[in-house]
Amino acid sequence: MTAQKTTPENVLEAIQLSAEIEDLLVSRNPRGMKSVQASMLKGYCLRAAMMMHQCDGYVLIGTGFPVAGTFETDGPVGAISLYRAFEMIGAKPVMVCGDPLASAIGSDFTVEKLSVGETSAEERSAKATEILEKYQPQLVLSIERPGRTEDAGYYNMRGESIAPNSASFDEIILEAGCPTIAIGDGGNEIGMGNVRPALRRLDITPAVTRCSELVIADVSNWGGHALVALLGWLSGKDLLESFDNKAVLTYLSEHGSVDGVTRENTLTEDSLPLEEGNKMLLDLRKLTGFINK
């Protein structure tokens, strides 16, 4: 498969493909993302993938949602998928996260560590400026990162404050000076400020931080895989072919991850078994034409 050339027919094909992927990502609807989708302009996955396709320099990938004193599997799996895809197209990805995730993966990935805990607005802004000036990124991407709420706090899906265990990535998104993408699955993640009115129907303390392009999914990891699939379609490369979902989940489990719903150290994503993630990867590769349907 060769890289896609822009023609009127191809544009229509791309928009249709994006819409099919967007519907697939929210088909389960465990946390109301299907209803949120109705407020979004179709083609958001394609538009995000096109931003990624432009990159040959630094890309910052923020991830890591604090759960039970550690980090959850949802987010880092998709971040690793994105990280490897960026490497394959010649970009320079950097993971940006706080401990314990930063230290857990620091020997295997390029990592920029954020401070965990409540800090002043001035400290957060200074850290964001430091990181942005260091890398001068072409793109900043957030996947399953807690987003600041209207009361300047951070909350999990149960409405519990997680501010003492959170690292702020909001300023990096807000001050980036380049395109920004955010992926979320519940309404309390960075980027959900884009669909704030639609979140009023959900039982969630919503995040207010906005981004250039929001991608929603039933599991944030799957949103990351979807963007990799579309990036591959644009590039003419099956960027998901070598991704081993079980191996990545095992790697994270060995470094202390837990399921964000059950809070147990298992090879699951938001309580869904490994096989569901594998099926999503397979379906994305089928939709993008890299394997037969």
- Is the distance from CB of 137 to CB of 58 less than 8 angstroms? yes
- With residue 97 as reference, give the H or E element that holds it: strand 92-98
**Residue-wise pLDDT tens digits, 175-232:** 999 999 999 999 999 999 999 999 999 999 999 999 999 999 999 999 999 999 999 9
Looking at domain 8-287, does it have CATH number 3.90.1640.20? yes
Full-model pTM = 0.96
- Is the distance from CB of 36 to CB of 216 less than 8 angstroms? yes
Contacts of 276 (CB under 8 A, 6+ apart): 269
* Region 64-78 average pLDDT: 97
Opening angle at CA 207, ends 203 and 210, nearest 5: 140
Closest CA to 25 of 230, 264, 265: 230
pLDDT at 47: 97
Which pLDDT band, with edges at 50, 70 and 90, does 119 fall under? confident
Closest CA to 234 of 95, 80, 93, 85: 85
Report the chain's C-alpha Rg in angstroms.
Answer: 17
Which pLDDT band, with edges at 50, 70 and 90, does 275 fall under? very high
> Residue 280 has which token pair?
């999503």
- Is the distance from CB of 190 to CB of 142 less than 8 angstroms? yes
Contacts of 164 (CB under 8 A, 6+ apart): 117, 118
pLDDT at 118: 80
- The yes-or-no verdict on residue 293 having pLDDT over 80 is no
- Give the chain's mean pLDDT: 95
State the sign of the Cα–Cα–Cα–Cα dihedral 172, 195, 228, 25. Answer: positive
- The yes-or-no verdict on residue 82 having pLDDT over 80 is yes
User: CA–CA separation, 4 vs 165, rounded Å?
Assistant: 43
User: CA–CA separation, 73 vs 263, rounded Å?
Assistant: 10
> Residue 5 has which token pair?
């050339």
* Ordered DSSP codes for 64-77: --EETTEEBSTTHH
pLDDT at 7: 55
Cβ neighbour number for residue 282 with a 10 Å cutoff: 12
Which pLDDT band, with edges at 50, 70 and 90, does 107 fall under? very high
- Is the distance from CB of 134 to CB of 181 less than 8 angstroms? no
pLDDT at 292: 84
- The yes-or-no verdict on residue 9 having pLDDT over 70 is no
Residue ranges covered by each domain of the chain: 8-287
**Residue-wise pLDDT tens digits, 121-169:** 899 999 999 999 999 999 999 999 999 999 999 999 999 999 999 999 9
Which pLDDT band, with edges at 50, 70 and 90, does 6 fall under? low
Strand partners, 109: none
